[in-house]
Structure 1
Amino acid sequence: MESPITAPFGQWKSPITSTLLGADDVQFETIATSNGKIYVVECRPKEQGRGCIVEYSGPEGRDVLPTKYDSRTKVHEYGGASMIAFNGQIVFTDRETQDLHQLDPSTGHVERITNTDIALRYVGTSGLADEQAKCGWVLAIEEDHSKPLASEIRNRLVAVNLQSKEIVNIASGDDFYSAAQFSPDGSKVCWTQWSHPDMPWTGARLYLAKWDNGKVTDVQLVAGVPEKESVSQPRWGPDNTLYFTCDCSGYYQLYRLNAGSSKGQRLALRGLEEVEFSQPDWRLGGCTFVSLTPTSMIASYTKDARWSFILIDLTNDTWHDLNLPVETSFNTAYILDITDTQLNTIKAASDFPMPASLVSRPEHISFPRVHDYQATSGTLPPLIVCLHGGPTSQTGTGLSTTDQYWTTRGYAVVWVNYGGSSGYGRAYRDELNGQWGILDTADAASCVSYLASTGKVDPNGVGIRGGSAGGYIVLQALCDYPNLFSGGNSLYGISNVRALCEHTHKFESHYAFALLFEPGASEAEKERIFKERSPCFKADKITAPMLLLQGDEDMVVPLGQAEEMVEMMVKVGRHPKLVVFKGEGHGFRQAKNRIDAVEEEEKWWKKSLLKL
């Protein structure tokens, strides 16, 4: 056995390259099954981020989507669920047109289903092959962008006839719709809907109705209260029992609505009353549970940022942990045989053979909120503090290629699930209301203070990075804690919260109000908060080197946010670096841009943390 090589922290040679991270790592967007075959949407950086539909009927995959198509939807801007499969057919949304298309995977033949207007966007959520009526239907969300303002965008739930191409209105009048599903027997439909100022995790409501070949009747509210309790992931069991998650207890728990009942009942899973079986629906198509038979269900839940998988006996609501070792693998699609709990790999996001000796094991830590900092001495690794976006989101403990990229070079990495993050119950999510830009930033600073006090990291070499709302925390932290951080990297982060509220897309156009303002805040109070919580107006407080990475087609946090931050910093004598990636939106998908972003960041940490 060779002796370890001695080298300074941050300068270790790693087998994880920027090309591996940026180009070779595919992303899985959607998985569906039909007629015994599995279909996966693979987003491929080497194909400019194209979403390709791949069929798996054995160990080898087969591309079934012609190369001229890109399976991606822009509904709600964040997209997701761009493909459904049923009756041996696939319905997908093409990125260029945002129309629904029908794909025959056996021949590769594609037929356009909707062909209405370039201002309309569609995403299919469920399909029904009605043999008796000799037709098929698809439930879909329609988003109308024919008017320029976010407040003028209209969403509705529709059903599309695959033969006649007729589009039938199912539900309209609310701001948003999601998760529509046909029941297995084709007699019912369910869906969720909500309106501003709610986000889907604050007050989405579940509805149920009868379905008869294009007609919906007897609509009833099942669960959910605006601004109080939220429902997500309605999903049918094979016996037409409706399951869903609801956070009315303070945690996203599993519920069932039996046929003929008007009110759902919580699954009494003893010992799991304070875990979360769902997560905020930023993207469409989330799935954390599936009914296997009328009497069994597989489900996943999160506790302390760790996802666990259980098998539930629905006859008596008992469960047992499947102890699946998925956290030690890179992002991978598996088939699980529940008879012997065997995981069989369908496709791994990367085929890089990661040596076990290089894998950094995650450790969940809790730390007190403090505001005093004391440096420690010694040769310790530089620390990269990472902040998730949202801010209503979460970072878990699964194996991350990006994290391993840094740890195998000698950096310590910590992800902060600050107040407002999901996965810890509704009360913890609500802590950020009125405190956005204060509590989350203080939590990041408190984490640094805690880690420094344990002697695990170099307090004089701390960097902070994050995307979107995480990028906002980066900018806020560099303003409010200028002596704590040695450098920052804001990826498509927010610098002006007023501009965000005035110009962001429809889905989030009311989201920031509850995060910034207490109920009943006066206009004068709102003006004060807009200025105090906008890093661009505090640029003179930043002393650490600042890197900004941004896409020029970002509709969530537009390029103007980064440009204004740079302008204000230059005015006070600072020298930030802004890198703009052409053709990229809210996140980077193209191989070259992903590689360049990683390499720009590594150069930045060498400069600001290692002082090289």
Structure 2
Amino acid sequence: MPPERPPISTADVARSALRLGFPTVRGDEVWWEEDRPAEAGRRTIVHRAADGSRRELLDAPWDARTRVHEYGGRSYVVVPGVGVIFANHADQRLYLTDGGPPRPVTAASEDRYGDLLWGDGVLWCVRERHHDDGKVSRGLVSVTLDGEVIEVISGSDFYASPALSPDGEHLAYICWNHPRMPWTGTELRITRLEDRSSWTVKGGMSESVLSPQWRDNRNLYLVSDWSGWWNLYQIGIFGTSSQALYPAEEEFAGPLWELGGLPYLMLGDGRLAVLHGQGDLRLGILDPETSTLIDLDVPYTGWAPALSADGTTLVGIGYGSDVPRSVVRVDVVTGRVEGLRRDIAELPDIAYLPVPHAVEIEGSFGRRIHAYRYPPNTPEPAPYVVFVHGGPTGHATTELSLEKAFFTTRGIGVLEVNYGGSTGYGRAYRERLRGQWGIVDVEDTVAAAQWLAAAGHADPARITVRGSSAGGWTVMAACAAATVFCGGVSIAGVSALAPLVAATHDFESRYIEWLVGSESLYASREPLSRAGEVSCPMLLMQGLADPVVPPTQAEAFAAALTERGIPCTYLSFEGESHGFRRLESKTAALAAELAFYEQLFRPEH
């Protein structure tokens, strides 16, 4: 009899990536963003009416994506009684749609707009300007529906999270300057709109303050890692009476890679809907008067930091290890939970979905390393792939992934490692990577692979490693530093630091100063300088329109390996940016990756 056909195909995985995000609720209506992989990876806005009917607001070729900071974030805002304003990817102009053809709001220019907020009859947002001399500047602006743009605040390198006071007199926001990143040091500032006077409320060079929201006209809520964890605080508008609402060794927010997300918000009854935890973030209700926090009884074990509320109705993006990423509506009074839209329309039998096992691994110098192990559907020891997340200031979650199931149903286990430097485990864990990129991340990834073999989960001769972006850097560096891997897959990985610093986008242009340090250290860390130490085959994949990690990074590493006689396959994808969005690209990349592993895992290899 022919062998049983695996239940999950490359096309199933590619089609599942709708990337549901950034929901908004107003009364009984809900809006959200979702991708169209089969339509060149464009992003659209979906509206769910009060009667439950669902409508796509933007037909092709419209693509609702902002490029502020290149990573973008929320691309739209609902204007009550008028329609939806969104940023269009192709020209980065703002457009308004009331359900019909979009009309332009802003004039054609090189400007980009993000972090959109509607308040007091105008749009408030971050404007990013790209000048003829190559410089980039940012400010907070107001935009009227007839297209008048007024710069209200400027002077800092970066801005985020504009929040208008209930009386419309003050604008709160987050700002920071090079070389800091939003997870290393930010300031919460307030501007009095009448006279444009501004002052700092909280934050500084070594404190990450995020997501200000107004409690009333004189007090705000915010998230700060002053204690070592991103916790919630209340503070007066002049920085007085700072009060921790629920001190805990948990995170109440995540790293600010994308603009426009809300990790907590105030409900109509004064309580706060919050996300909190280590690793995955749970959904709970916090009473700021009593500091009582109660988790909601919902079938979603993790949530994306993108909440919206109207009264006591809450919407968010929830997920579980066996529940697809979903747009979820919760009535916090009745406890009713509704899944409005799922990332994956039809799931395979639950028996095919791997169950994540949270593990702690001892690394170099006794360091604790967090990871999730997804066993294969065959007896162990088995071949394994170590997944390395990007960022590097990010983290892996237990969100259901057909990509992982694609491998585990083929007898290949997955270990996803949250190496030192990952978020989700406090500032001290993040700070492990300060000045140590290419050392700590590599050591932790190698230690995770060694643990797999020592614990009897993996066949020591059949362990590979894969990662994207910063994860690709770790893959290449780990394959040079150790012999525990029989192969490596890097997707849009960084191989050389000086060319990256010279060519990458402004947001991360000085990130390397925190991650590595002075240029004198580059050669000892970067994979390209150590290509001669790689002894295993490698697969490199790269989007040719990537503004974050230019294709020259993969091309140079592939050429160095080939010159040294190391088997290396380099695949490039026309029109793809930093992360593949198109159905055909996703399908081809996953098929190539599987073929690479199958060749390495053959008994005779």
TM-score for the superposition, normalised by structure 1 = 0.89
Q: Is the 8 A contact 2:223 2:230 kept in 1?
A: yes
The verdict on how the C-alpha distance between 1:371 and 1:535 changes in structure 2, with shifts beyond 3 A counting, is farther
| Pair 1:194-2:176 in alignment | yes
Please point out which of 189, 195, 218 is paired with 2:197.
218
Q: Is the 8 A contact 1:330 1:349 kept in 2?
A: yes
Please point out which of 103, 107, 121 is paired with 2:112.
121
Aligned to 2:233: 255
Instruction: Give secondary structure in 1 for the equivalent of 2:180.
Output: coil
Aligned to 2:60: 67
Provide the rounded CA distance (Å) in 2 between the counterparts of 1:411 and 1:216.
Answer: 63
Q: Which whole-Å deviations, capped at 9, do the CAs of 1:197-235 have from their partners, x for residues lacking one?
A: 100111111112233xxx553322111102x10111122
Q: Residue 449 of structure 2 aligns to which amino acid in structure 1?
A: V
Give the fraction of aligned pairs with identical amino acids, expressed as a percent: 31
| Pair 1:280-2:261 in alignment | no
The verdict on how the C-alpha distance between 1:60 and 1:193 changes in structure 2, with shifts beyond 3 A counting, is same
Instruction: Give secondary structure in 1 for the equivalent of 2:156.
Output: coil
Aligned to 1:433: 434
Query: What is the correspondence of 1:156-305 to structure 2 with a 5 Å cutoff?
Result: 156-163=139-146, 165-211=147-193, 215=194, 217-226=196-205, 228-237=206-215, 241-258=219-236, 262-263=239-240, 265-269=242-246, 273-303=248-278, 305=279
Q: Which whole-Å deviations, capped at 9, do the CAs of 1:472-498 have from their partners, x for residues lacking one?
A: 0000000001x2001111000011112
Q: Is the 8 A contact 1:201 1:281 kept in 2?
A: yes
Instruction: Give secondary structure in 2 for the equivalent of 1:479.
Output: helix
TM-score for the superposition, normalised by structure 2 = 0.90
Q: Is the 8 A contact 1:371 1:442 kept in 2?
A: no
Provide the rounded CA distance (Å) in 2 between the counterparts of 1:233 and 1:371.
Answer: 36
Please point out which of 357, 360, 370 is paired with 1:363.
357
Q: Is the 8 A contact 1:238 1:294 kept in 2?
A: no
Aligned to 1:406: 407
Aligned to 2:125: 140
Provide the rounded CA distance (Å) in 2 between the counterparts of 1:64 and 1:601.
Answer: 36
Provide the rounded CA distance (Å) in 1 between the counterparts of 2:17 and 2:424.
Answer: 27
Q: Which whole-Å deviations, capped at 9, do the CAs of 1:506-530 have from their partners, x for residues lacking one?
A: 000110111112xxx5xxxx33x21
Provide the rounded CA distance (Å) in 1 between the counterparts of 2:601 and 2:203.
Answer: 48
Larger deviation, residues 21-30 vs 379-388 = 21-30
| Pair 1:503-2:482 in alignment | no
Provide the rounded CA distance (Å) in 1 between the counterparts of 2:242 and 2:5.
Answer: 55
Provide the rounded CA distance (Å) in 2 between the counterparts of 1:284 and 1:357.
Answer: 37
Q: Is the 8 A contact 2:96 2:102 kept in 1?
A: yes
Distance apart, 1:591 and its partner CA: 0.6
Please point out which of 80, 84, 94 is paired with 1:87.
80
Q: Residue 120 of structure 1 aligns to which amino acid in structure 2?
A: D
Provide the rounded CA distance (Å) in 2 between the counterparts of 1:584 and 1:264.
Answer: 49
Distance apart, 1:6 and its partner CA: 13
Distance apart, 1:575 and its partner CA: 2.6
The verdict on how the C-alpha distance between 1:370 and 1:41 changes in structure 2, with shifts beyond 3 A counting, is same
Provide the rounded CA distance (Å) in 1 between the counterparts of 2:363 and 2:16.
Answer: 39
The verdict on how the C-alpha distance between 1:594 and 1:577 changes in structure 2, with shifts beyond 3 A counting, is same
Q: Is the 8 A contact 2:6 2:409 kept in 1?
A: yes
| Pair 1:317-2:291 in alignment | yes
Q: Which whole-Å deviations, capped at 9, do the CAs of 1:108-166 have from their partners, x for residues lacking one?
A: 2422111141x2111252012x4xxxxx31112111122354xx211111111223x22
Q: Is the 8 A contact 1:299 1:309 kept in 2?
A: yes
Instruction: Give secondary structure in 2 for the equivalent of 1:364.
Output: strand
Which 5+ residue runs of structure 1 have no aligned equivalent?
131-135, 373-377
Aligned to 1:375: none
The verdict on how the C-alpha distance between 1:446 and 1:295 changes in structure 2, with shifts beyond 3 A counting, is same
Instruction: Give secondary structure in 1 for the equivalent of 2:167.
Output: coil
The verdict on how the C-alpha distance between 1:490 and 1:114 changes in structure 2, with shifts beyond 3 A counting, is same
Distance apart, 1:397 and its partner CA: 1.6
| Pair 1:306-2:280 in alignment | yes
Provide the rounded CA distance (Å) in 2 between the counterparts of 1:296 and 1:138.
Answer: 27
Distance apart, 1:356 and its partner CA: 2.1
Q: Is the 8 A contact 1:41 1:53 kept in 2?
A: yes
Please point out which of 569, 575, 578 is paired with 1:586.
578
Aligned to 2:136: 153
Q: Is the 8 A contact 1:472 1:490 kept in 2?
A: yes
Instruction: Give secondary structure in 2 for the equivalent of 1:202.
Output: coil
Q: Is the 8 A contact 1:296 1:311 kept in 2?
A: yes
Q: Residue 318 of structure 1 aligns to which amino acid in structure 2?
A: T
Provide the rounded CA distance (Å) in 2 between the counterparts of 1:388 and 1:158.
Answer: 34
Aligned to 1:133: none
Provide the rounded CA distance (Å) in 1 between the counterparts of 2:150 and 2:481.
Answer: 53
Provide the rounded CA distance (Å) in 1 between the counterparts of 2:389 and 2:452.
Answer: 19
Instruction: Give secondary structure in 2 for the equivalent of 1:46.
Output: coil
Instruction: Give secondary structure in 1 for the equivalent of 2:480.
Output: helix
Provide the rounded CA distance (Å) in 2 between the counterparts of 1:590 and 1:563.
Answer: 22
Provide the rounded CA distance (Å) in 1 between the counterparts of 2:524 and 2:276.
Answer: 37
Instruction: Give secondary structure in 2 for the equivalent of 1:345.
Output: strand
Provide the rounded CA distance (Å) in 1 between the counterparts of 2:149 and 2:502.
Answer: 33
| Pairs aligned (count) | 570
RMSD: 2.1
Provide the rounded CA distance (Å) in 1 between the counterparts of 2:219 and 2:505.
Answer: 36
Q: Which whole-Å deviations, capped at 9, do the CAs of 1:360-386 have from their partners, x for residues lacking one?
A: 1112111111499xxxxx962111100
